[in-house]
A and B are shown apart, each in its own frame.
Chain A
Amino acid sequence: MADQPIYEARGVSKSYGSVLALRDVDLAVHAGEIVGLVGDNGAGKSTLVKVLSGVHQPDGGAVYLDDVQRTWRSPHEALEAGIETLYQDAGLCPDLTVNANVFLGRERLRPGLLGKLGFLDNKAMAGVAREELERVGINLTGVRRTVNKLSGGQRQAVAIGRAISWARKVIVLDEPTNHLGARQSREVLRVMHRARDRGLGVIFISHTLPHVLEVTDRIVVLRLGRVVTDEPTSSFTPDSLLKAITGLSGPTAA
């Protein structure tokens, strides 16, 4: 793990009208590290995700990619810079194939004149989509099936595979194990390990504390818009993590 974080929020504040959603929040993720971001409902997790992914700009503070301050004017700019976000329930296009979804917005065009006219290179995309999904540990061979023919778990697998295969630096996963069964959740966690092993910085937002304790290297706890704890995962017990989230044992757990 490098000492220098790959992606960082420093002193980020954000308010919606009179509601202060984030107050002077610091969060850093290193390459090859999984950081868990936890907190009760309304703690500011979603707002922080939106700041990290370029949906919102912070009112105060800034985000730093490779120690360079960045201002995302749109989610697209963050994507271009290598930061992928899997939003909670954002989903896929159900009428399109797996292949089309993996390449959505980044379609490969055919070489030469046909490509200039916008003709899609479906063959190349189908091949690469399968390879990319396999590379992150998803053996979904039916890339030409439409997504509405897949089970909920398979859909989530495609969504995560899509995000991880495009991410170059950081991936933000907002509740990726929501609505999934125990077995499918385990496999999502496994895919996250793969992403970490490939040197990505992973930010994992979840309500399911056992998952967070199992998969992360470090846990950041948000409460009422503030970071109350930022410690290595090994220093938490299920009990102390819960106490840090609810605030029943003072501001610093562990």
Chain B
Amino acid sequence: MATEKGIGMTAATATDSNETRDCQDGEESRGSRITAVLARQDVMLLGVLVLMVVFFTVMNPRFFTTFAFANILQDWAPVMVLAIGETFVIITGGIDLSVGSTLGLSGVACAMVMRSLHHSGADTTTTIVVGVVTALLAGMAVGLVNGLLITRFKLAPFIATLATMGAGAGLTLVLTGGVQIAGGPTEVIWLGNTQYVELLTLPLIVVLVVLAVTWVVLGLTRLGRWTYAIGSNSFASRGAGIGVNAHLIKIYLLSGLLAAVGGLFVYFRLGSGSPTSGQGQELAAIAAAVIGGTSLFGGSGRMSGTVLGALITTSVLSGLILIGVAPNWQQVVIGALIAIAVGVQQLNLRSGKGSGRG
């Protein structure tokens, strides 16, 4: 061979300067250019959030108070914890519609177990621990069913989780007879509502810890890398020896587990399990992830975007209530936000250079 030049390198030299730019370890998997684009998207989201805060404050100065922020953060916690799971799921190219009804189911399961233990005279700590474990197991059970339906029975994630969404909500009604389940230990409400540090209630502390852990997992570990890989090209991932099915089951288990954590947040905040809690929350969680830039086609998305997306959706809802819009408009607003976010994504895709899919 006379020449030892590489293959098809004509376009390489033009963009090689990117290589010299320093990437943080965690962002590296998505490459410097993508990082730059998405970083701009984060800045854009932050701008939207600030504009909204200004708007609502002008319309009603009570929006800009510690009390109002505390409320927003309390609403944010369950949406955020669902949205974390949803981010993982959507990056794999799936969707989890069942998280809202799983939140309700696990909250109610927790409430029923705690009530009966409390009434039979078990001590408070045992009651709470058993109740919490029950909720988490209930959530993981739904996640496992989702994972098996998708990997073993080859159902599309949309259909599989639509089925468990309906079944979960129905089971919750069967279990409760449609009424609230109170009668657990009263310490629960104290645990769930005390501000340990300024604004920081137990659910908020939990959600921040979960967020930190999952952020690192998604960005820095093999589990995160495979999540992106499967969503980007599941056929190539399988060919590369990745256990795609096992990985997907893990992801849906995580989503179910986090939905149960959301159920616990609601239970610890109110001190009772409501059969209707969680209704529509899957929409809020999906909205948070999608507004945050996670692509419904899979393969891309960032936790920072989801955090901002969830802050935007919860602030909008609080703000609308404060400026006197009826709460029934909430779902309409969330739906509109999803449509806008996906629309913007599509426009970006079309204007962007070859996306590599198709």
Contacts and interface: CB of A to CB of B under 8 A. Distances in A.
Given A107-B222, A139-B9, A145-B32, A76 B228 contact: no
Interface string A116-139: 011110110010000001100111
A108 to B, nearest CB: 9
A247 interface: no
Contact of A154 (B8, B31, B228): B8
Nearest to B25: A122
B16 interface: yes
B28 A95 contact: no
A42 interface: no
Contacts of A87: 239
A148 interface: yes
A79 B357 CA distance: 26
B220 interface: yes
A5 interface: no
Contacts of A105: 237, 240-242
Contacts of B225: 96, 100, 107, 120
Contacts of A187: 5-8
Nearest to B10: A151
B313 interface: no
Contacts of A149: 15, 31, 33, 353
A142 interface: yes
B332 interface: no
Interface in A154-206: 154, 156-157, 160-161, 180, 183-184, 187-188, 190-191, 193
A144 B8 CA distance: 17
A102 to B, nearest CB: 10
B202 to A, nearest CB: 26
Nearest to A148: B356
A93 interface: yes
A144 B6 contact: no
B15 to A, nearest CB: 6
Interface string A85-100: 1010011111111011
Nearest to B223: A118
Contacts of B7: 137-138, 153-154, 156-157, 160-161, 184, 187-188, 190-191
B28 A144 contact: yes
Given A93-B233, A95-B228, A96-B229, A151 B19 contact: no
Interface string B226-256: 0011011101110111100000000000000
Interface residues of A, number: 59
A154 B356 contact: no
B319 interface: no
A144 B35 CA distance: 11
Interface string B206-220: 000000000001001
Contact of B233 (A92, A144, A151, A160): A92
A82 interface: no
A141 interface: yes
Given A118-B221, A156-B8, A91 B25 contact: no
13 contacts: A75-B241, A91-B233, A91-B235, A91-B236, A94-B356, A104-B229, A104-B236, A107-B225, A140-B6, A149-B31, A154-B12, A157-B7, A188-B7
Interface of B: 1, 4-12, 15-16, 18-19, 23, 25, 28-34, 217, 220-223, 225, 228-229, 231-233, 235-237, 239-242, 299-300, 353-357
Given A94-B356, A96-B299, A105-B241, 20 more contacts: A94-B299, A96-B29, A97-B28, A97-B31, A104-B237, A105-B237, A105-B242, A119-B222, A120-B222, A122-B29, A126-B28, A137-B5, A137-B7, A138-B6, A142-B15, A145-B33, A149-B353, A151-B10, A154-B8, A187-B7
